[in-house]
Amino acid sequence: MQQRRMSDFVSHMPQALAEARAAATRGEVPVGAVLTDAAGRVVASAGNRTREVHDPTAHAEILAIRAACAAAGSERLPGHRLWVTLEPCPMCAAAISAARIEILYFGAEDPRMGGVRHGARVFEHPQCHHRPEIHDGIAAGESSAILREFFAARR
Amino acid sequence: MQQRRMSDFVSHMPQALAEARAAATRGEVPVGAVLTDAAGRVVASAGNRTREVHDPTAHAEILAIRAACAAAGSERLPGHRLWVTLEPCPMCAAAISAARIEILYFGAEDPRMGGVRHGARVFEHPQCHHRPEIHDGIAAGESSAILREFFAARR
């Protein structure tokens, strides 16, 4: 029987949700991400910053991946796990694949912009050369509520 | 009749090919990109740097978009045109959409990794909220030759 790691029992979605809430207070679409290494340690966490840094690629997932890669001195993150509050868009899904992330946990599905379960379905084509294990629906209600409140307040 | 701009008659693919060749000399997969603004001025150009900067998102297109957005102080680049030597991957295609780039010119198709004409076909789903005008096959032979030589030399 495969030995279970402590990290298998720890959810980092609460921290990802905190990043999403912090993004909302900055006026950014509230999505948050946390990246853990093979030992289960948090190596990066981020919320959206596209407006603040004038960068359309500054989604939570991309910022976390870039920070972790810079710290690791590698363009690949084998054994790492990414926790995201919302279904990644096609850009982020492809970056997750390029970084060789092992497991993707996400919260709410995103029928409007998502690229994992919807639309481009980036991981489901032969052009995708690394597909993470995927666990979805984690704290989906809370993730959706944060997004709903953010957009309701802006109407 | 719509007035034609000077920029309509200038191809920036030679500069993109030069960026691809420069990437090859750095040991990076030789893909190059040039971004021009609404007046036809070159505002950014880049080649792949994923290995050099330890960043799986450092594709030529992403680097050019990030540089141009930083210079413009905006996460959107309306009226801009992107010249790329190779069919963009899903990550870059989604970034092109997010940046609201008006016209995409690319060289060779990429059946192995592409996300425009192959696989994810990022622009062809309702989840894609901005689709650029696309012109492909520009200097495709030269683009392919640069890639072929690069990989042949590494075998």
Which residue blocks in A81-139 are alpha helix, DSSP H? Answer: 90-98
Report CB contact under 8 Å: B127, A121. no
B71 falls within a domain? yes
User: 10 Å Cβ neighbour count for B88?
Assistant: 29
Element (H, E) at B43: strand B42-47
Token reading at A101: 């992330």
| Angle CA A115–A116–A118, to nearest 5 | 65
- Any B CB within 8 A of A66 CB: yes
Please tell me what DSSP assigns to residue B30.
Answer: -
Confirm whether B123 is domain-assigned.
no
Please report whether residue B4 resides in a domain. no
Give the span between the Cα atoms of B51 and B26, in whole angstroms. 9
Question: Which residue, A129, A10, A104, A118, is CA-closest to B94?
Answer: A118
Helices (H), chain A: 13-25, 60-72, 90-98, 140-153
Q: Minimal Cα distance from B97: which residue of A?
A: A56
Reduce the DSSP state of residue B71 to 3 states and report it: helix
The DSSP code for B70 is H
- Best residue in A43, A57, A86, A113 to probe B by mutation, most B CBs within 10 Å? A57
CA distance B75 to chain A (A): 4
**CA neighbours closer than 13 Å in the CB half-sphere of residue A61:** 27
pLDDT in tens, A2-55: 555 555 568 999 999 999 999 999 999 999 999 999 999 999 999 999 999 999
User: Which pLDDT value is given to residue A10?
Assistant: 80
- The predicted pLDDT at position A115 comes to 98
Residue of B51, B94, B129 with shortest CB distance to A115: B94
Confirm whether residue B59 is marked as ligand binding: yes
Q: Is residue B136 part of a domain?
A: yes
In a domain, A115, yes or no: no
A100 near A130, Cβ under 8 Å?
yes
In a domain, A116, yes or no: no
Domain-embedded: residue B89:
yes
Of B65, B74, B115, nearest to A94 by CB-CB distance is B115
ipTM: 0.94
Q: What CA dihedral angle connects B110, B115, B119 and B125, to 10 degrees? A: -150
Q: For residue range B68-105, what is the model confidence (pLDDT) as tens digits?
A: 999 999 999 999 999 999 999 999 999 999 999 999 99
B116-155 pLDDT tens trace: 999 999 999 999 999 999 999 999 999 999 999 999 998 8
Buried b (16+ CB within 10 A) or exposed e, A69-86: beebebbbbeebbbbbbb
| Inside any domain, residue A120 | no
Residue-number span of the structural domain to which A95 is assigned: 12-110+131-153
- Minimum-distance CB partner of A91 among B51, B95, B114: B95
- Give the CATH number for residue B46: 3.40.140.10
Test the A interface: residue of B127, B128, B131 with most A CBs within 10 Å: B127
> What is the number of domains present in chain B?
1
Q: What is this structure's pTM?
A: 0.94
